[in-house]
Amino acid sequence: MDIDLYIDFVYHGFYRLDDIEERFDEYHAAALEAAEDLADDEVILYAIYAFEEETQRFIYANFMIRKLKLDHYARVCERLSKFCRLFCIGNG
């Protein structure tokens, strides 16, 4: 199964699930490091996974390290399809 990979919202091509999982681990580790300096009202968004509506098949992964205020993060969540999963880390 090939999955579309985006990094900072820039398309990088199709990748295997193993490659996506490896990239996820890298970004999770980077997010943990970045979270050390977070305020109480901030999170680090490090991945967004999207799934096809009808089949629930994993179709793309987008990796980033973005510091967001909680209210901005809530707006992002509201705007994304209900078939996306967002991964973030807070300081608590």
Please tell me the predicted confidence (pLDDT) of residue 84: 93
Per-residue pLDDT band for 54 (boundaries 50, 70, 90) equals confident
The residues with which 42 forms a beta bridge, in sequence order, are 69
Per-residue pLDDT band for 1 (boundaries 50, 70, 90) equals low
Mean pLDDT in residue range 32-48 = 94
Per-residue DSSP letter, 19: H
Phi, psi of 9 (to 5 degrees): 70, 15
**Which sign does the torsion angle of CA 40, 7, 81, 17 carry?**
negative
Please tell me the predicted confidence (pLDDT) of residue 80: 84
The residues with which 85 forms a beta bridge, in sequence order, are 49
Angle at 69 between CA 10 and CA 78, to 5 degrees: 70
For the chain, the domains span 2-89
Q: Report how far residue 26's alpha carbon sits from residue 13's, in angstroms, rounded to the nearest whole number.
A: 18
